[in-house]
Amino acid sequence: MALLEVRDLVVSYRVRSHNFAPKRTLYAVNGVSFEIGEGETLGLVGESGCGKSTIGKALVRLEKPASGSIVMEGRELADLTGRALRKSRGDIQMIFQDPYGSLNPRLKIAESLDEVLALRRPGSRQERRKRAEELLAQVGLPSDTLERYPHQFSGGQRQRIGIARALAGDPKLIVADEPVSALDVSVQAAIVNLLMDIQRECGTAFLFIAHDLAVVEHISHRIMVMYLGRIVEIAPAHELVASPRHPYTKALLAAVPTVTPEGKSRLVLHGDVPSPIDPPAGCPFHPRCPRASERCRAERPELEGTGGHRCACFFPEN
Protein backbone atom coordinates (compact mmCIF):
# COMPACT_ATOMS: atom_id res chain seq x y z
CA MET A 1 0.00 0.00 0.00
CA ALA A 2 1.31 3.44 -0.91
CA LEU A 3 2.01 5.84 1.94
CA LEU A 4 2.04 8.83 -0.41
CA GLU A 5 0.45 9.22 -3.84
CA VAL A 6 1.23 12.22 -6.05
CA ARG A 7 -0.81 12.73 -9.21
CA ASP A 8 -0.25 15.29 -11.98
CA LEU A 9 1.56 17.70 -9.67
CA VAL A 10 2.20 21.14 -11.17
CA VAL A 11 4.16 23.94 -9.50
CA SER A 12 4.46 27.13 -11.53
CA TYR A 13 5.58 30.74 -11.14
CA ARG A 14 4.86 33.97 -12.97
CA VAL A 15 8.22 35.47 -13.94
CA ARG A 16 9.86 37.91 -16.32
CA SER A 17 12.77 36.99 -18.56
CA HIS A 18 14.06 40.57 -18.13
CA ASN A 19 12.92 43.76 -16.44
CA PHE A 20 10.58 45.10 -19.11
CA ALA A 21 9.25 41.82 -20.50
CA PRO A 22 5.67 40.71 -19.78
CA LYS A 23 5.28 37.99 -17.17
CA ARG A 24 5.24 34.40 -18.39
CA THR A 25 4.60 31.08 -16.67
CA LEU A 26 7.57 28.98 -15.59
CA TYR A 27 6.64 25.35 -14.90
CA ALA A 28 9.14 24.15 -12.30
CA VAL A 29 7.20 20.88 -11.91
CA ASN A 30 5.01 19.89 -14.83
CA GLY A 31 2.59 17.00 -14.39
CA VAL A 32 4.60 14.70 -12.11
CA SER A 33 3.09 11.49 -10.68
CA PHE A 34 4.64 8.93 -8.32
CA GLU A 35 4.07 6.88 -5.15
CA ILE A 36 6.16 6.19 -2.06
CA GLY A 37 5.50 3.05 -0.05
CA GLU A 38 5.72 2.65 3.71
CA GLY A 39 9.35 2.34 4.77
CA GLU A 40 10.59 2.92 1.21
CA THR A 41 13.32 5.25 0.01
CA LEU A 42 12.56 6.80 -3.37
CA GLY A 43 15.55 8.54 -4.92
CA LEU A 44 15.10 11.61 -7.12
CA VAL A 45 17.96 12.72 -9.36
CA GLY A 46 18.55 15.27 -12.10
CA GLU A 47 20.57 18.35 -12.98
CA SER A 48 20.35 21.56 -10.97
CA GLY A 49 17.19 23.49 -11.82
CA CYS A 50 15.18 20.50 -13.03
CA GLY A 51 12.58 20.84 -10.25
CA LYS A 52 13.76 18.24 -7.71
CA SER A 53 13.75 20.52 -4.67
CA THR A 54 10.47 22.11 -5.76
CA ILE A 55 8.79 18.70 -5.56
CA GLY A 56 10.11 18.24 -2.02
CA LYS A 57 8.95 21.69 -0.95
CA ALA A 58 5.52 21.07 -2.46
CA LEU A 59 5.14 17.88 -0.42
CA VAL A 60 5.74 19.77 2.84
CA ARG A 61 3.75 22.74 1.46
CA LEU A 62 6.60 25.23 1.48
CA GLU A 63 5.46 25.68 -2.13
CA LYS A 64 1.79 25.68 -3.06
CA PRO A 65 0.92 23.45 -6.03
CA ALA A 66 -0.83 25.11 -8.95
CA SER A 67 -2.72 21.88 -9.55
CA GLY A 68 -2.53 18.18 -8.90
CA SER A 69 -3.06 15.88 -5.95
CA ILE A 70 -0.91 14.93 -2.93
CA VAL A 71 -2.60 12.15 -0.96
CA MET A 72 -1.08 10.69 2.21
CA GLU A 73 -2.87 7.69 3.69
CA GLY A 74 -6.08 8.69 1.95
CA ARG A 75 -5.93 12.36 3.00
CA GLU A 76 -5.55 15.14 0.43
CA LEU A 77 -2.77 17.56 1.40
CA ALA A 78 -2.58 19.87 -1.60
CA ASP A 79 -5.50 22.09 -0.55
CA LEU A 80 -4.95 22.19 3.23
CA THR A 81 -4.68 25.55 4.98
CA GLY A 82 -4.37 26.88 8.52
CA ARG A 83 -4.54 24.46 11.42
CA ALA A 84 -5.10 21.42 9.21
CA LEU A 85 -1.95 22.23 7.24
CA ARG A 86 0.12 22.69 10.42
CA LYS A 87 -1.12 19.35 11.74
CA SER A 88 -0.28 17.53 8.51
CA ARG A 89 3.31 18.78 8.57
CA GLY A 90 4.05 16.46 11.46
CA ASP A 91 3.65 13.48 9.12
CA ILE A 92 6.04 14.88 6.48
CA GLN A 93 9.25 16.55 7.64
CA MET A 94 12.18 17.92 5.67
CA ILE A 95 15.97 17.80 5.98
CA PHE A 96 17.42 20.80 4.17
CA GLN A 97 20.50 20.98 1.98
CA ASP A 98 22.29 23.72 3.91
CA PRO A 99 23.13 22.64 7.48
CA TYR A 100 24.36 26.20 8.18
CA GLY A 101 21.21 28.02 7.12
CA SER A 102 18.56 25.56 8.35
CA LEU A 103 19.09 26.25 12.08
CA ASN A 104 18.26 29.52 13.84
CA PRO A 105 21.65 30.89 14.99
CA ARG A 106 20.04 32.66 17.96
CA LEU A 107 18.50 29.53 19.47
CA LYS A 108 20.23 26.85 21.45
CA ILE A 109 19.74 23.35 20.08
CA ALA A 110 17.42 22.59 23.00
CA GLU A 111 15.15 25.45 21.93
CA SER A 112 15.19 24.41 18.25
CA LEU A 113 14.12 20.87 19.14
CA ASP A 114 11.61 21.99 21.75
CA GLU A 115 9.77 24.11 19.17
CA VAL A 116 8.88 20.92 17.28
CA LEU A 117 8.35 18.72 20.34
CA ALA A 118 5.96 21.24 21.92
CA LEU A 119 3.72 21.02 18.84
CA ARG A 120 3.79 17.24 18.50
CA ARG A 121 4.20 16.04 22.09
CA PRO A 122 2.19 18.15 24.51
CA GLY A 123 3.63 17.41 27.94
CA SER A 124 5.98 18.79 30.52
CA ARG A 125 9.22 20.54 29.61
CA GLN A 126 11.12 17.78 31.42
CA GLU A 127 9.50 15.11 29.25
CA ARG A 128 10.35 17.04 26.10
CA ARG A 129 13.92 17.53 27.32
CA LYS A 130 14.30 13.78 27.81
CA ARG A 131 12.93 13.15 24.31
CA ALA A 132 15.38 15.70 22.86
CA GLU A 133 18.27 13.83 24.50
CA GLU A 134 16.97 10.57 23.01
CA LEU A 135 16.81 12.13 19.54
CA LEU A 136 20.39 13.40 19.80
CA ALA A 137 21.58 9.98 20.92
CA GLN A 138 19.76 8.48 17.91
CA VAL A 139 21.81 10.66 15.55
CA GLY A 140 25.08 10.11 17.42
CA LEU A 141 25.41 13.34 19.42
CA PRO A 142 25.90 13.78 23.21
CA SER A 143 23.27 15.33 25.45
CA ASP A 144 25.39 18.44 26.15
CA THR A 145 24.68 19.41 22.52
CA LEU A 146 21.40 20.86 23.79
CA GLU A 147 23.08 23.79 25.56
CA ARG A 148 25.17 24.90 22.60
CA TYR A 149 24.48 27.12 19.57
CA PRO A 150 24.62 26.09 15.89
CA HIS A 151 27.87 28.00 15.20
CA GLN A 152 29.67 25.71 17.66
CA PHE A 153 29.24 22.65 15.43
CA SER A 154 30.73 21.36 12.19
CA GLY A 155 28.65 20.93 9.04
CA GLY A 156 28.21 17.22 9.63
CA GLN A 157 27.14 17.77 13.23
CA ARG A 158 24.65 20.44 12.17
CA GLN A 159 23.15 18.08 9.64
CA ARG A 160 22.76 15.45 12.38
CA ILE A 161 20.93 18.08 14.43
CA GLY A 162 18.72 18.81 11.41
CA ILE A 163 17.92 15.10 11.18
CA ALA A 164 17.09 15.00 14.89
CA ARG A 165 14.76 17.98 14.43
CA ALA A 166 13.00 16.22 11.56
CA LEU A 167 12.57 13.09 13.69
CA ALA A 168 11.12 15.17 16.55
CA GLY A 169 7.85 15.38 14.62
CA ASP A 170 7.54 11.55 14.50
CA PRO A 171 7.16 11.72 10.71
CA LYS A 172 6.05 8.89 8.47
CA LEU A 173 7.91 10.46 5.53
CA ILE A 174 11.05 12.60 5.45
CA VAL A 175 12.01 14.67 2.41
CA ALA A 176 15.83 14.76 2.36
CA ASP A 177 16.74 17.61 0.00
CA GLU A 178 20.37 17.00 -1.02
CA PRO A 179 21.31 16.40 2.63
CA VAL A 180 24.97 15.57 1.91
CA SER A 181 25.89 17.84 -1.02
CA ALA A 182 27.19 20.64 1.25
CA LEU A 183 29.32 18.26 3.34
CA ASP A 184 32.85 16.95 2.99
CA VAL A 185 33.12 13.61 1.20
CA SER A 186 34.45 12.03 4.40
CA VAL A 187 31.20 13.01 6.20
CA GLN A 188 28.74 12.15 3.44
CA ALA A 189 28.88 8.38 3.91
CA ALA A 190 28.29 8.69 7.66
CA ILE A 191 25.13 10.79 7.10
CA VAL A 192 23.79 8.42 4.42
CA ASN A 193 24.39 5.42 6.67
CA LEU A 194 22.67 7.24 9.54
CA LEU A 195 19.55 7.77 7.41
CA MET A 196 19.54 4.08 6.49
CA ASP A 197 19.86 3.12 10.17
CA ILE A 198 16.93 5.40 11.04
CA GLN A 199 14.80 3.76 8.38
CA ARG A 200 15.58 0.28 9.73
CA GLU A 201 14.81 1.35 13.31
CA CYS A 202 11.74 3.52 12.73
CA GLY A 203 10.32 2.39 9.38
CA THR A 204 10.40 5.98 8.10
CA ALA A 205 9.96 6.50 4.37
CA PHE A 206 12.27 8.90 2.50
CA LEU A 207 12.21 10.97 -0.63
CA PHE A 208 15.97 11.30 -1.12
CA ILE A 209 16.82 14.16 -3.50
CA ALA A 210 20.35 14.38 -4.92
CA HIS A 211 22.32 14.84 -8.11
CA ASP A 212 24.88 12.08 -7.34
CA LEU A 213 23.55 8.81 -8.76
CA ALA A 214 26.14 6.74 -6.90
CA VAL A 215 24.86 8.00 -3.53
CA VAL A 216 21.23 7.65 -4.59
CA GLU A 217 21.71 4.05 -5.74
CA HIS A 218 23.28 3.16 -2.38
CA ILE A 219 20.35 4.40 -0.28
CA SER A 220 17.29 4.02 -2.54
CA HIS A 221 14.89 1.20 -3.30
CA ARG A 222 13.69 2.94 -6.46
CA ILE A 223 15.01 5.92 -8.42
CA MET A 224 13.22 8.62 -10.42
CA VAL A 225 15.12 10.65 -13.00
CA MET A 226 13.88 14.19 -13.65
CA TYR A 227 14.52 16.53 -16.56
CA LEU A 228 13.05 20.00 -17.11
CA GLY A 229 10.16 19.54 -14.68
CA ARG A 230 9.16 16.03 -15.76
CA ILE A 231 9.98 12.46 -14.75
CA VAL A 232 11.73 10.72 -17.66
CA GLU A 233 12.49 7.35 -16.05
CA ILE A 234 11.63 5.42 -12.88
CA ALA A 235 12.78 1.94 -11.90
CA PRO A 236 14.16 -0.18 -9.06
CA ALA A 237 17.52 1.33 -8.12
CA HIS A 238 19.87 -1.45 -9.21
CA GLU A 239 17.89 -2.11 -12.38
CA LEU A 240 17.99 1.54 -13.41
CA VAL A 241 21.75 1.73 -12.88
CA ALA A 242 22.45 -1.59 -14.60
CA SER A 243 20.04 -1.14 -17.53
CA PRO A 244 19.06 2.51 -18.10
CA ARG A 245 16.58 3.04 -20.93
CA HIS A 246 16.45 6.80 -21.30
CA PRO A 247 19.43 8.54 -22.97
CA TYR A 248 19.44 11.21 -20.25
CA THR A 249 19.78 8.55 -17.55
CA LYS A 250 22.65 7.01 -19.52
CA ALA A 251 24.37 10.40 -19.63
CA LEU A 252 23.97 10.88 -15.87
CA LEU A 253 25.46 7.45 -15.23
CA ALA A 254 28.34 8.14 -17.60
CA ALA A 255 29.21 11.20 -15.53
CA VAL A 256 29.66 9.15 -12.33
CA PRO A 257 33.41 8.74 -11.67
CA THR A 258 34.70 5.15 -11.64
CA VAL A 259 37.97 3.54 -10.65
CA THR A 260 38.16 1.54 -13.89
CA PRO A 261 36.76 3.71 -16.70
CA GLU A 262 38.05 1.42 -19.50
CA GLY A 263 35.14 -0.25 -21.24
CA LYS A 264 32.62 2.14 -19.70
CA SER A 265 30.29 3.41 -22.40
CA ARG A 266 30.15 7.18 -22.33
CA LEU A 267 27.32 9.33 -23.63
CA VAL A 268 28.28 12.99 -23.79
CA LEU A 269 25.48 15.53 -23.99
CA HIS A 270 25.90 18.69 -26.05
CA GLY A 271 24.15 22.01 -25.57
CA ASP A 272 22.49 23.49 -22.50
CA VAL A 273 19.29 22.62 -20.68
CA PRO A 274 16.42 24.55 -22.34
CA SER A 275 14.75 27.35 -20.42
CA PRO A 276 11.73 26.19 -18.40
CA ILE A 277 10.05 29.46 -19.40
CA ASP A 278 10.24 28.46 -23.07
CA PRO A 279 10.56 24.63 -23.20
CA PRO A 280 10.89 22.90 -26.57
CA ALA A 281 7.92 21.28 -28.27
CA GLY A 282 7.68 17.51 -28.18
CA CYS A 283 10.09 15.63 -25.95
CA PRO A 284 11.81 18.14 -23.63
CA PHE A 285 15.11 16.27 -24.06
CA HIS A 286 15.17 16.15 -27.86
CA PRO A 287 17.49 19.21 -28.41
CA ARG A 288 20.29 17.32 -26.60
CA CYS A 289 19.38 13.75 -27.50
CA PRO A 290 21.62 11.85 -29.97
CA ARG A 291 18.69 9.60 -30.98
CA ALA A 292 16.07 12.32 -31.53
CA SER A 293 13.78 11.96 -34.56
CA GLU A 294 11.06 14.09 -36.12
CA ARG A 295 8.53 12.35 -33.89
CA CYS A 296 10.50 13.44 -30.81
CA ARG A 297 10.37 17.04 -31.99
CA ALA A 298 6.60 16.92 -32.49
CA GLU A 299 5.23 14.62 -29.74
CA ARG A 300 5.90 14.31 -26.03
CA PRO A 301 6.41 10.71 -24.81
CA GLU A 302 4.64 9.49 -21.68
CA LEU A 303 6.06 7.21 -19.00
CA GLU A 304 5.50 3.66 -20.18
CA GLY A 305 6.84 0.25 -19.32
CA THR A 306 6.25 -2.93 -17.37
CA GLY A 307 7.59 -4.53 -14.23
CA GLY A 308 8.09 -1.25 -12.41
CA HIS A 309 10.53 0.14 -14.99
CA ARG A 310 8.96 3.01 -16.92
CA CYS A 311 10.58 5.39 -19.37
CA ALA A 312 9.38 8.47 -21.27
CA CYS A 313 11.10 7.82 -24.58
CA PHE A 314 9.93 6.73 -28.03
CA PHE A 315 13.16 4.76 -28.57
CA PRO A 316 14.12 3.30 -25.17
CA GLU A 317 17.06 0.96 -24.91
CA ASN A 318 16.29 -2.50 -23.53
* CB atoms inside a 10 Å sphere around CB 73: 13
Paired with 224 in beta bridges are 44, 234
CATH code for residues 2-80+220-311: 3.40.50.300
Q: On the CB side of 254, how many CA atoms lie within 13 Å of its CA?
A: 13
Q: Dump pLDDT digits (tens) for 17-49.
A: 777 888 889 999 999 999 999 999 999 999 888
Confidence of residue 264 (pLDDT cuts 50, 70, 90): low
Contact 158, 107 (CB under 8 A): no
pLDDT score for 169: 87
Q: DSSP state, 250?
A: H
Q: Dump pLDDT digits (tens) for 154-204.
A: 999 999 999 999 999 899 999 999 999 888 888 999 999 999 999 999 999
Paired with 234 in beta bridges are 224, 310
Sketch the domain layout of the chain as residue ranges. Answer: 2-80+220-311
Contact 238, 73 (CB under 8 A): no
pTM: 0.93
Q: Dump pLDDT digits (tens) for 119-166.
A: 887 788 999 999 999 999 999 999 999 999 999 999 999 999 999 999
Alpha carbon distance 219, 206 (integer Å) = 10
State which amino acid sits at residue 197.
Answer: D
